[in-house]
């Protein structure tokens, strides 16, 4: 993940992402969230609107759909995301990784749609994966958790 390490913790960094990906395609504020998107590579950084503190990174593997238009990147992430040793990419099918996800501690989320969602929460971050009704990986979100005092 592109970012910085502060006090032995990974921290998302907008300047680091701009250095690697170039200038973002667009930036928009919805409520308390600023979404900074690199449409052509299928990546979006979410940050707090006021302080611009990054807290989540979205990888769009499915290329988005009409419902998501303007909210998630319109392009498709073509790389590989290594999440707890599980290699995720646009051609991954849920049937191929279901047992790996369960072994890595991911929880299957039940929902009202035919899509499947899996998530895992660790000390400082969570990962959320969504697979479409046809079993293909739609997107992955890595969210940094705030410190609790």
Q: What is this structure's pTM?
A: 0.85
Give yes or no for residue 38 having a pLDDT over 80. yes
Q: Where are the domains of the chain?
A: 3-144
Q: Which of 5-14, 56-65, 94-103, 138-147 has the lowest mean pLDDT?
A: 5-14
What average pLDDT is seen over the chain? 85
Percent of residues, the chain, with pLDDT higher than 70: 83
Give yes or no for residue 149 having a pLDDT over 50. no
Give the contacts of 51 (CB within 8 A, at least 6 positions apart): none
Q: Determine contact, residues 138/62, Cβ cutoff 8 Å.
A: yes
Report the pLDDT value the prediction gives residue 133, as an integer from 0 to 100.
Answer: 87
| pLDDT single digits (tens) 65-118 | 555 555 678 889 999 999 889 999 999 999 999 999 999 999 998 766 678 999
> CA–CA separation, 5 vs 95, rounded Å?
35
């Amino acid at each position: 993940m592109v970012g910085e390490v502060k006090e032995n913790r990974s921290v998302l960094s907008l300047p680091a992402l701009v250095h690697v990906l170039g200038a973002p395609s667009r930036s928009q504020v919805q409520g308390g969230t600023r979404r900074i998107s690199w449409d052509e590579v299928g990546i979006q950084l979410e940050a707090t609107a006021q302080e611009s503190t990054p807290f989540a990174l979205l990888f769009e593997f499915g290329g988005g759909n009409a419902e998501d238009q303007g909210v998630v990147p319109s392009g498709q992430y073509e790389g590989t995301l290594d999440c707890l040793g599980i290699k995720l990419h646009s051609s991954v099918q849920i049937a191929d990784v279901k047992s790996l996800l369960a072994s890595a501690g991911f929880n299957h989320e039940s929902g009202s749609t035919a899509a499947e969602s899996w998530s895992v929460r660790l000390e400082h971050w969570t990962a959320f994966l969504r697979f479409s009704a046809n079993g293909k990986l739609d997107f992955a979100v890595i969210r940094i958790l705030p410190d609790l005092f």
